């Protein structure tokens, strides 16, 4: 069933587990994520991020994701990840997304607050949920620095100013493949969790260790975003399939199956299995 962040993240925050957001750019990845969540009876968040649009047209994928979510046996949030412009966030909502992230974290603080507030008002009127970001979670090798970590004061102010349903925080993770061991600030995350009333979101989940995930969740992470690990699993499956001479259909199914297993691994680790 199609649902919003509040329906799946508030129980996660209370219950001490996290719900995975898995970004998908095509119906193969979509099938893998839905099947994994249904098999483990887990709530799930399916995303597609604005920066991924060159690889999967929004208007093409949106009807499939929304329809799949409605038909699913488990709660599914259809979330527009890292919306960079208000226009694109509104477009995603008009295509049936039940949730959006407005990401103004690279811009001026005041503008991030004002733009996020505007999207919150727009989305809430439609019954959709909104995630915002304060501090900045960078991209591996590009723009990750500790001076952009989220502070409690800024986060409290941002929540009061915007009314977002979930908050992405910067505590040392980065998007993409880690080039060096991440320096995760668990203490900061615990403090943010103790002081803020909303579910906290960790971006850049791919490449973290099982121990990192357990600790992040123990410190209050209620939503963890994954993309790169799914692409790596899919790529490895395709490489192997070509090596052993599978035909196109066999290769396609093998890829879906491999991504499905990767999603199941994450769902078990996040503790959301059986929570649908
Ligand atoms: P990874 O690609 O590093 O898993 O990050 C995903 C993400 O945070 C999407 O918002």
51-85 pLDDT, tens digit per residue, is 888 887 899 899 999 999 999 999 999 999 999 99
pLDDT on residue 134: 95
**If you ran DSSP here, which 8-state letter would residue 175 be given?**
B
Cβ(96) to ligand 1 under 6 A? Answer: no
Cβ(182) to ligand 1 under 6 A? Answer: no
- Which domains are seen in the chain, by residue range? 2-270 (3.20.20.70)
Cβ(175) to ligand 1 under 6 A? Answer: yes
pLDDT on residue 49: 87
Neighbours of 250 (CB within 10 A): 12
Q: What is the arithmetic mean of pLDDT over 94-107?
A: 96
143 pLDDT tier (thresholds 50, 70, 90): low
**If you ran DSSP here, which 8-state letter would residue 146 be given?**
G
Gap between the Cα atoms of 226 and 122, Å rounded: 27
Q: Which of 26, 81, 157, 247 is catalytic?
A: 81
3-state DSSP assignment of residue 153: helix
Within the chain, what is the greatest distance between any pair of CA atoms?
Answer: 57
Place of tokens 């960079």: 84
Out of 102, 105, 177, 203, give the residue to mutate to test ligand 1, the one with the largest number of ligand atoms within 8 Å of its CB: 203
Active site residue 229: no
Indicate which residue's Cα is closest to atom 1 of ligand 1.
204
Distance (angstroms) between ligand 1 centre and the Cα of 245 equals 32
Distance (angstroms) between ligand 1 centre and the Cα of 177 equals 9
Q: What is the arithmetic mean of pLDDT over 171-200?
A: 95
Cβ(203) to ligand 1 under 6 A? Answer: yes
For residues 23 and 49, the answer to whether their CB atoms sit within 8 Å is yes
78-89 pLDDT, tens digit per residue, is 999 999 999 999
pLDDT on residue 156: 98
Distance (angstroms) between ligand 1 centre and the Cα of 174 equals 8
Q: How far is CA 272 from CA 38, 94, 168, in A?
A: 12, 29, 19
Query: Residue 92 pLDDT more than 70?
Result: yes
Q: Which atom of ligand 1 is least distant from the CA of 101? A: 10
Which are the contacts of 118, defined by CB distance < 8 A and separation ≥ 6?
86
144 pLDDT tier (thresholds 50, 70, 90): low
Q: What is the arithmetic mean of pLDDT over 101-119?
A: 96
37-48 pLDDT, tens digit per residue, is 999 999 999 999
Q: Which atom of ligand 1 is least distant from the CA of 231? A: 2
Task: Kindly state the percentage of the chain with pLDDT values over 70.
Answer: 98
Query: Residue 116 pLDDT more than 70?
Result: yes
For residues 207 and 224, the answer to whether their CB atoms sit within 8 Å is no
pLDDT on residue 155: 97
């Amino acid at each position: 069933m199609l649902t919003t962040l509040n329906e799946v993240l508030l129980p996660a925050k209370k219950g001490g587990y996290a719900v995975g957001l898995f970004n998908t750019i095509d119906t193969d990845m979509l099938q893998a994520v839905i099947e994994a969540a249904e098999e483990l009876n887990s709530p799930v968040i399916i995303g597609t991020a604005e920066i991924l649009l060159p690889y999967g047209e929004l208007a093409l994928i949106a009807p499939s994701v929304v329809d799949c979510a409605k038909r699913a046996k488990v709660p599914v949030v259809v979330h527009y990840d890292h919306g960079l412009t208000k226009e694109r966030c509104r477009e995603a909502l008009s295509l049936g997304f039940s949730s959006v992230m407005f990401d103004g974290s690279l811009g001026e603080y005041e503008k991030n607050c004002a733009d996020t507030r505007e999207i919150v008002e727009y989305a809430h009127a439609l019954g959709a949920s909104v995630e915002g970001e304060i501090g900045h979670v960078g991209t591996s090798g590009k723009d990750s620095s500790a001076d952009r970590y989220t502070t409690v004061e800024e986060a409290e102010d941002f929540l009061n100013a915007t009314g977002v349903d979930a908050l992405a925080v910067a505590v040392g993770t980065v998007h993409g493949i880690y080039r060096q061991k991440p320096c995760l600030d668990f203490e900061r995350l615990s403090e943010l969790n103790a002081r803020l009333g909303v579910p906290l979101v960790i971006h850049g989940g791919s490449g973290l260790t099982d121990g990192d995930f357990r600790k992040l969740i123990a410190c209050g992470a209620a939503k963890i975003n994954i993309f790169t690990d799914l692409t790596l699993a899919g790529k490895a499956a395709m490489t192997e399939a070509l090596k052993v001479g599978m035909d196109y259909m066999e290769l396609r199914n093998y890829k879906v199956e491999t991504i499905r297993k990767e999603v199941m691994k994450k769902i078990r680790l996040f503790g959301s299995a059986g929570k649908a």
